Amino acid sequence: MQKLTNKEEEIMHIIWKLEKGFVKDVMAEITENKPHYNTLSTIIRNLEEKGYVSYHAYGKTHQYYPIVSKEAYKKRFMNTAIENYFNNSYKNVVSFFAKEEKISIEELREIIALIETKNTQETDSKNSKKH
C-alpha cells in the first residue's frame, strides 16, 4: 500500500464517506481550499494508480469508489506510525497520550476492560476447543 500525500488522504476520506461518486460529488464535499476541478481529477486518478480507488465508466465520466477500506488504511497507517515514532511499542503510544493529557484515567480503564474481555474470550475459546 503506497503512502498517500496529505491531499490524497483528505480526498480518500471524502470518497470513503461518499462510498461512490463523481469528481463533482467529491468537489461538493470540500469546504476549504477547493482545488481546481482538473487538479482534483488528477488527485483522484493518482489514487486510482496507487490502488486506492477504482471506477465505473459512464461514457467519458467516471464514478469512483474505494477499493481500500478505511479500516485497512487506518491499520496500516497506525502500524507505520507506531513503528516509526514509538519504537513499535503500544505501551509507548499509551504513555505518550497519558503524558500529553490526551487520555483520561476513565478511558484507560475502558481500554484495560476491553483487553481483559478479549483475553477472557480467547481463553474460553481455547478451553472449549480442548474438550
Query: Residue 131 is inside which H or E element, if any?
Result: none
Report how many domains make up the chain. 2
Alpha helix ranges (H) inside 64-104: 70-85, 90-99
Q: pLDDT tens digits, residue range 4-60?
A: 999 999 999 999 999 999 999 999 999 888 999 999 999 999 999 999 999 999 999
Give the domain extent around 15.
6-66
Q: pLDDT tens digits, residue range 59-70?
A: 999 999 999 999
Residues 60 and 24 occupy one common structural domain: yes
C-alpha cell at 103: 487520555
pTM of the model: 0.74
- Asked whether residue 72 is assigned to any structural domain, the reply reads no
- Asked whether residue 43 is assigned to any structural domain, the reply reads yes
Residues 62 and 93 occupy one common structural domain: no
- Asked whether residue 11 is assigned to any structural domain, the reply reads yes
